[in-house]
Amino acid sequence: MENLRRPRDKWRDIIFCSVAVFVVIADQITKALIRASVLPGEVFYDVGYFRIIHVENTGASFSLFQGHSLVIVIVSIIGLLVILSLVFFFRSRWSFLQSNWVIVALALVTGGAIGNNLIDRLRQGTVTDYLDFKVWPAFNVADMCLTVGIIILVYRLIFYSGLTKDKK
């Protein structure tokens, strides 16, 4: 019975790694483009309710916890270790973790945490944000992926937490 699950587990690993790597690459490329073409504080594009602006953020997602970079890095590393252990070591124990939606959600959170909280903070001490709807602090691709991943996880926990056999 265990051998029948192995190929599917490998595909889940490939999906997880591919999505996480894609998020990191997309996040780093967009931030590099903003840093190369827009000075900090300068607006690149503005349509009234939305603008692209170069903001250097010392806080976490959506400018929360400003000035606590070391704590954010430590929490991110611990969170990443927990996610990686869930994905690679504990998924056979909890059927919830075998869902493709959960794997994608965890990959989005992982890619966002690596792109935002580790690479940027360790390399330059701040995170580059650039998407601004003017009613919420500026954010970036990694913030979006973290948020979407967490929304998917919460939805799956509430509505599909092992109550059905649905693995989709």
Catalogue the active-site residues: 129, 143
Q: Is 6 exposed, middle or buried (0-12, 13-18, 19+ CB in 10 A)?
A: exposed
